[in-house]
Structures are given as C-alpha cells and as structure tokens.
C-alpha cells in the first residue's frame, strides 16, 4: 500500500510542557487507523501537531511533503481535514454556510455538487440547512462537522474523539458512516476512547500512553490483546 502519512520522532506540547515524547506511526492510503488512549495520553495533541496548530519537532510527512513548519491553513490546502473534539462548528452560521466554509480552499466548480452529495448522505442536514449550527443536537453537529471537513475533499480525515458526549445509538450510526466513508476511499485517522467501536471499523491501531506508543498492530489483534481488553474494553 502507498504510505500517505508517515510520522517519525514526533514531539509536541504546550509551552514548557512536553506531551508527545518522540512517537512514530503511519497511515497508508485507504486505511482507517485508530489511536487509543486514556484522557491525557496525548491523542488530541497528536492531531493538533499534524495540523500545524502547535509547536512540533520531528517529521510529519504527507505523501512525500513535510508538514512540520507549515501553518494550519497550509496543511488544509495540502489535503488534511480535521474534525476537532467538541465538533467545532460555527454556531451562529447556518448549516449550509458551515459547509461553504469547509470548501474555502477550493477553486473548482464542483462545490455545489459536493454540498448536494453530503446533504444526500446526511438528510437531516438538508432538512436543517437554514438553521444555525448551534441549534442542532450534538449528533447533528457531529454530522455537520464531518460533512464540513469533507467539503475540502481531503486526502486524510482526522477525527478527534467523535463519540464524545453522544448517545450510544448516535455513536453507532456515526461509526457506521465512518466505515462507509472509508469504503468510498477516504483515509481516516481517528483518536478515540471507545476502543471497541473504533477498532471495529479500523485496519490497524496504536495505543498511546503518557505521550508514547505502548502497543500497535492490526485492529483484530489489539481487540484480542488481554492487556488492552482490560484497560480499554472493560474485560
């Protein structure tokens, strides 16, 4: 498989506090890869480092191009879209305006067609297209955040704790949709605490503990690892 994202010796943090201590991982084109870990393990920091949102050292290579040193807007233009923890929609803008914001880097003539595509994929967004994002339920806002990210036509979609704060039935539906996105060719990197659901749709996974990779392997191998089952699956 073609290596899409290759991360080596990634170090990052906030001011004097170093959160990531030189981690290595990769994502191949067409894969779904999950990074698991408890609160404070460094999962969100990893995605922020990839996106150029915080000071970072090491290497973050996207299909041959180095991202370390790029700002967040440049990373988006290079094909990385980020759905942050807490959704990150623009609450005062309408659903449709949020989707338009997602396509701000594009210069082609297919933005309207893509908007219709995601309205068809998420019919509730079409029904609510003139409502403000802040008036949506948590699950609807998560759908909007994902659709907005996809409006950029990313090569890599980063999802930060997509299940956070949502009812189990909504979470199951979201993860089924993530699996469908991957089947349609979108490469996904998901950081998540819900290990069972995340590994259920993933090809491979990494476990992050205190800013270091403590385990990695195929998703089914991690699901059946006794130490990981006890730590993250409640078994």
Q: Where are the domains of the chain?
A: 1-79+154-171+178-235, 93-152
- pLDDT tens-digit series, residues 116-156: 999 999 999 999 999 999 999 999 999 999 999 999 999 99
Give me the residues of the chain with pLDDT under 70, please: 233-235
Q: Which single residue is written with the structure tokens 């089947």? A: 183
Phi and psi for 112 in degrees, rounded to 5? -60, -40
**pLDDT attached to residue 225:** 87
pLDDT (0 to 100) of residue 204 = 97
pLDDT digits (tens, 9 = 90+) for 134-143: 999 999 999 9
Q: Rounded to whole angstroms, how far apart are CA atoms 38 and 231?
A: 9
The answer to whether the Cα torsion of 87, 230, 217, 13 is positive or negative is: positive
The DSSP letter of residue 88 is: -
**At a CB cut-off of 8 Å and minimum separation 6, what does 203 contact?**
31, 32, 33, 218, 219
Does 1-79+154-171+178-235 carry CATH code 3.40.50.2000?
no
Supply the pLDDT for residue 233. Answer: 67
**Quick one: pLDDT at residue 194?**
86
pTM for this prediction: 0.93
């Amino acid at each position: 498989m073609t290596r899409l994202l290759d991360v080596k010796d990634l170090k990052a943090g906030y001011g004097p506090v170093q959160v990531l201590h030189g981690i290595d991982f990769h994502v191949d084109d067409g894969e779904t890869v999950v990074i698991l870990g408890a609160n404070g393990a460094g999962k969100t920091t990893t995605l922020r480092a990839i996106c150029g949102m915080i000071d970072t050292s090491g290497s973050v290579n996207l299909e041959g191009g180095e991202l370390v040193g790029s700002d967040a807007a440049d990373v988006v233009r290079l094909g990385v879209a980020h759905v942050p923890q807490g959704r990150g929609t623009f609450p005062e803008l309408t659903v449709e305006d949020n989707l338009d914001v997602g396509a701000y880097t594009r210069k082609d003539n297919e933005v309207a067609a893509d908007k219709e595509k995601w309205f068809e994929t998420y019919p509730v967004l079409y029904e609510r297209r003139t409502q403000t994002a802040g008036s949506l339920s948590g699950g609807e806002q998560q759908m909007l955040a994902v659709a907005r990210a996809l409006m950029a036509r990313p090569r890599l979609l980063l999802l930060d704790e997509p299940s956070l704060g949502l009812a189990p039935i909504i979470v199951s539906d979201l993860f089924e949709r993530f699996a469908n996105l991957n089947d349609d060719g979108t490469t996904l990197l998901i950081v998540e605490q819900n290990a069972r659901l995340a590994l259920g749709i993933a090809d491979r996974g990494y476990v992050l503990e205190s800013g270091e990779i403590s385990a990695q392997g195929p998703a089914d191998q991690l699901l059946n690892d006794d130490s990981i089952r006890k730590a993250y699956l409640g078994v």
